[in-house]
Amino acid sequence: MALRRRAAVPEEEHREVAAADVLDWSRGDSPLIRVRIARDTVPGGLSLAMAPMFVGWRGISSGFGPDDHYLIHNVNIANNPVGGVLVLGTLKVWADSVEKVEFVAVTTKVKNHDTPFGHAMLRFIFREGRRPVILDKRGLQLANDAEVSDLIVSWEAWRPPQEKFDAVKGLNPNRYALTPRCMIGAVRYLTDSTLNRPWHCYTIKLPDIEHAYDELMYSCLALADAVARQTVSQLLERRIDDGKNFPHDYLAASEGDWAAVAEYYTTSRLSRDPVRDVLDGKISYHLLERSCISMALLSLDWANHRIHRRAGLPEPARVAVAPESLPSFITDLAGGERTPMLLRVPAALQWIMVNQTVVVEKAAQMLDDVGLLQRDEKGPLRTDWETPRETPYGNLLDHMIY
């Protein structure tokens, strides 16, 4: 019996969206765009689908009153991997709305067995009645079902369309840009479950003071927004210098915070001041120093420190965000010839295995060591989601019409 061959799907030509169009689109009060994942790029050839989130600070208080809110742009609100399209939209998020936060370790499986490697994200879960709403292009609440229950903030290596992440290439800081992405939780879960990547969700524990979890969201959004503006400004050749030429809706909300936290990151255990690096434009992705895991840990560490200071509490234990220095073979690995590079890979993997800043399995332990995870007598509280059918959002079959 003859076998029927599957028709080949033609590879799409990359189409660059002009810088002027990117600016016009992003300047809207609530931009909304449908993106062809495998085709659309921004200037420089990076994927438009991986565009970083921005926060609209203009006219918005940084307090936690009943009307205070943020507008988050470039949120992935819908994703169809079969059709190869996603929708980037704008969400209105109430400043006083976070019910709890989870550190999500997304592990990589090999032959159906978990490995210590993977990805890390922060998941913000909102109170009923204060949930974010999706806005249309006019800035009005989307018709019918605009509310979302949670949001994911994920730090990633910004790449061209269809280019898979390469861990060895990720050791070269000139290879990838750093992009903080924001997406509805169910959108991200669909992607990870399709790729057979389980979620291991740890509940974050903060001091029992009012608005602690709202403060964590604010801090995370502020740091992500700073990185996003630096990254995109460099791509468009409109670099933002330290303290100069900030967009008019950005200066008042967060520049004072950058100066205030500079002194926090001067310990010998840190390779440099991460926040100051952001303002100096050193925002390329690096597997060990500026990765998904290190940036998620930095967001939690910075927010926890702010919360303690504002509440007049004693200084908290700090998370070791980055190694003091990198072994020489790690640097050699990124730029060396092919054969020597392959010979060094086992040593590099061994170093990564014992370095807690880059192994997602050990990142949760780092948070537990400084008291940032909820726990019971058995250890840190963790919820595992390992099958495509059973999701944090209900049974998949209940959501289908077929």
Burial class (CB in 10 A: 0-12, 13-18, 19+), 22: buried
The stretch 170-176 carries a mean pLDDT of 73
pLDDT digits (tens, 9 = 90+) for 248-302: 433 332 333 333 333 333 332 333 344 555 555 666 777 767 788 888 998 898 8
Q: Indicate the pLDDT class of residue 29, thresholds 50, 70 and 90.
A: confident
Number of Cβ within 10 Å of residue 241's Cβ equals 11
What is the average pLDDT value for the chain, to the nearest integer? 78
Indicate the angle between helix axes 292-310 and 360-369, nearest 10 degrees. Answer: 10
> Rounded mean pLDDT of 113-141?
90
Whether 35 shows a pLDDT value over 90: the answer reads yes
The mean per-residue pLDDT over the stretch 152-166 comes to: 90
| Mean pLDDT, rounded, for 174-180 | 82
394 pLDDT higher than 50: yes
pTM: 0.83
pLDDT of residue 253: 28
pLDDT at 313 over 60: yes
The pLDDT value recorded for residue 212 is: 95
Which has the minimum average pLDDT: 13-22, 90-99, 203-212, 363-372? 13-22
Q: What is the mean pLDDT of residues 300-313?
A: 89
Are the C-beta atoms of 319 and 300 separated by less than 8 Å? yes
Give pLDDT, residue 141: 93
The pLDDT of 179-207, averaged and rounded, is 94
Model confidence at 40: pLDDT above 70: yes
Answer yes or no: are the C-beta atoms of 287 and 358 closer than 8 Å.
yes
Helix (H) or strand (E) holding 44: none
pLDDT tens per residue, range 72-122: 999 999 999 899 999 999 999 999 999 999 999 998 777 677 776 789 999
